[in-house]
Amino acid sequence: MRIITTRTFLVLAVAALTACAGATESGPEEPSVPVVQTTAGEIEGAWTDETEQVSVFRGVAFAQPPLGDLRWRPPAPVDPWDGTRMATEFGPACWQGRNADDSPYARGELPRSEDCLTLNVWSAAEAPDERRPVMVWFHGGGHTAGVGSATVFDGTAMARKGVVMVTANYRLGPFGFLAHPALTAESEHESSGNYGILDHIATLAWVRDNIAAFGGDPGNVTIFGQSAGSWSVCVLQASPLARGLFHKAIGHSGGCFGAPRLHLTKTGGMATDRSGHDAGIAVATELGAEGDGPEAAAAMRAAGPEAVMDAQRAARGGSGVVVDGWVMPTLADEIFAAGEQNDVPVILGSMSDEGRTLYAGMAEPPRDEFVAGLRNQYGDRTDALVAAYAAELDTSTKIAGQAISTDRSFTWQMRAWARAIGDSNDVYLYFFSHAPPVFRLYVPDRPELDFAGGRRGAGAYHSGDLAYAFANVGLVGIDWNDRDRELSDQMSQYWVNFATTGNPNGEGLPPWPSYDRDTEGAIEFGADATAAVNAVRKAKLDLFDRSYQAGTSN
């Protein structure tokens, strides 16, 4: 199958006119290339393989490069162009640090640039009027790293399953999430920070305006993401700016509930304690940009990207979503409690062993020291925690610490998200406990760097579900087995079904119950089978409720 594009249509029209005129000779056949007319201009993509069934358009700009005066501003629309632009190469990653080569999250020597606001589209539609469901992916990486063009996110297999797949970059770290009084003062919305979230919203606006040309349905868009990408999905469900831009949501291992977010509260023009402004002021100070007026903003924008990254590291400032009164009017907990979120069907879930790789560097103190640390943090709940995690603690304090962090930071978050939506038949919870081989996400052409040699000793680790959700088992990593391939077919088909109808269930798949507070039904992607379960780790998760309800990080 192929898209009938502007150029293909014109070739067919000329051939038809020639035939009507009685011509007996024909010239050489024009090579088939996928070409699409976007609102800004025509782009030419490529076929993913020689079968010419799936077209891919790489490195498509969805906003102007956020350079110079556009740094730390909302994304600006792309300027129109004449002629045809090539969309055959992925755009560079947004500015970020580099993980060590021995990390499963290593990204290698990625090309990096501030000119990075691009997206990629895969489609197997034969004509623009097919109106296939659309899936838009936001990558993880702590809002400080990652890229939408990682091989594990290749959209070919999902396009063959019937969706139009979009992956996108967004500004990261201090470029995507830096708030500062000088930036707030120049904003018509009295807001700064959250530029990475605004990039997501610009991506969705581009999809609304252009995806029909690729055979997609702008009225049936599913957003999904993992880790920080899932935090983004959570924020987008809470944000009034994203209303109407998506119609379903999937969150893998990351939510925006409970833990306090930075606020942009001000007194007399100065940021108060624990505000997003404080973090930005620390970065600006490292850059030598003092004050809260236009001069400070100009000095910050004059700094090179390397200097900004160095300043952020030196300031030890966080890079995260802020409650700015515009993108995020208040905390997500409060938005959902008031029923003011974007009310769409959701799939939510996590891995059983998120912390094995994510917290691989966690210390392993003696047992008495570990328990004393728990008591300092959890007070009268410590004995219950020690009892709940007795098996892990008997193995080692490091394993216990990783297990507690896994449930507190991920399993609890996804349950909290499901509970926040309330009783609905449109919420589906999953728990992924099958241990995949450990593979590198971003270095597909360096098999000698496969983390842990493809072994499964890390359990169901953070990011281990990505190849399954994209039906890319075998495209990355090594040591896949029959259960991996079966689970990849199941998970990706659940996702496609959900994107199509809002319900993941379908022919040939194990039944997936919708979530309700009484039974807390879910689907478990287990080592031997995929099956419905109830109340996943409920007794453990209940131990963390009070910490989050108290509005503290404890």
Catalytic residues: 227, 354, 462
Residues sharing a CB contact under 8 Å with residue 390, sequence separation 6 or more, in sequence order: none
Cα 300 to chain centroid distance, Å, stands at 28
The candidate with the shortest Cα–Cα distance to 193, out of 110, 119, 280, is 280
* One-letter-per-residue 3-state SS of 275-329: EHHHHHHHHHHHCCCCCCCHHHHHHHHHCCHHHHHHHHHHHCCCCCCEECCCCCC
* One-letter-per-residue 3-state SS of 38-71: CCCCEEECEECCCCCCCEEEEEEECCCCCCHHHC
Indicate left, alpha or beta for 63 from its phi (over 0: left) and psi (-120 to 50: alpha): beta
CA-to-CA distance for 369 and 378, rounded, in angstroms?
Answer: 14
CA-to-CA distance for 554 and 547, rounded, in angstroms?
Answer: 5
8 φ, ψ to 5°?
Answer: -60, -45
Cα 428 to chain centroid distance, Å, stands at 18
Are β-strands 346-351 and 322-323 bridged in parallel, bridged antiparallel, or unpaired?
unpaired
The candidate with the shortest Cα–Cα distance to 196, out of 174, 166, 211, 180, is 174
What residue has token string 């199509």?
500
Q: Are the C-beta atoms of 123 and 43 separated by less than 8 Å? A: no
Q: Are the C-beta atoms of 91 and 65 separated by less than 8 Å? A: no
Angle 140-554-543 (CA atoms, 0-180°, nearest 5)? 90
Q: Locate 104 and state its tokens.
A: 């499963």
Angle 169-149-39 (CA atoms, 0-180°, nearest 5)? 60
DSSP 3-state assignment of 521?
strand
DSSP 3-state assignment of 240?
helix
* CA distances to 63, 147, 281, 320, 424 from 185, in Å: 23, 31, 14, 20, 41
464 φ, ψ to 5°?
Answer: -70, -15
Which alpha helices (H) appear in 127-261, and where do they start and end?
156-160, 173-177, 181-186, 195-210, 228-238
DSSP 3-state assignment of 106?
coil
